Amino acid sequence: MSFWLFKTEPDTFSIDDLKNRGAHGEIWDGVRNYQARNMLRDLLRIDDRVFIYHSNCSVPGVAGIARVIETGVIDPTQFHPESKYFDPTSTPESPRWITVKVVYEKHLDAPATLASIKSHPELQDMQLVKRGNRLSILPVTDDQWKSILHLGNT
């Protein structure tokens, strides 16, 4: 089992929205970056655990945890002309955007804020805090996972 971090803007889709989907979970749609797509398509496995990270908000940070329940999911929004994620160059015969479905697992007791992550020496290697990082899907090491759990459960 591997660990990951997914970014989301809580104004658009928050961990509470994911919680409200219940056991049905939610397709992680809208990823339109090839590096991120490749991780979703090629590296994520069922039962992998995912930090849900709230970005572009007043207090950015890891809010909670989700679990991968389905892989190789064709992002349906690429075929929806009314969607902001519509991709007219993708075809049902050869879909370009593949993603996963996740289900809510739990909130951290308190969010592990970006500020607190930056203040912890053992987390300075996280891709999240690396200069210029903009990927919305990031790998997390076992040690980083444990450290952030600790940050969020004090």
Partner DNA sequence: GCCAACGTTGGC
What residue ranges bind DNA (CB under 7 A)? Answer: 7, 9, 32-35, 55-57, 60, 114-115, 118, 131-136
Q: How far is the CB of 23 from DNA (least distance, A)?
A: 27
Burial 60-75 (b: 16+ CB within 10 A, else e): bbbbbbbbbbebebbb
* Distance, CA of 81 to CA of 67 (rounded, Å): 30
Q: How far is the CB of 53 from DNA (least distance, A)?
A: 7
- Among the residues of the chain, which ranges form H helices? 15-20, 34-42, 114-118, 142-151
Q: Could you give the maximum distance between any two Cα atoms of the chain, in Å?
A: 49
Residue with Cβ nearer DNA (13 or 70): 13
Residue with Cβ nearer DNA (92 or 132): 132
* Distance, CA of 70 to CA of 98 (rounded, Å): 11
Residue with Cβ nearer DNA (85 or 145): 85
Q: How far is the CB of 19 from DNA (least distance, A)?
A: 21
Residue with Cβ nearer DNA (136 or 147): 136
Q: How far is the CB of 34 from DNA (least distance, A)?
A: 5
Amino acid at the residue 22: G
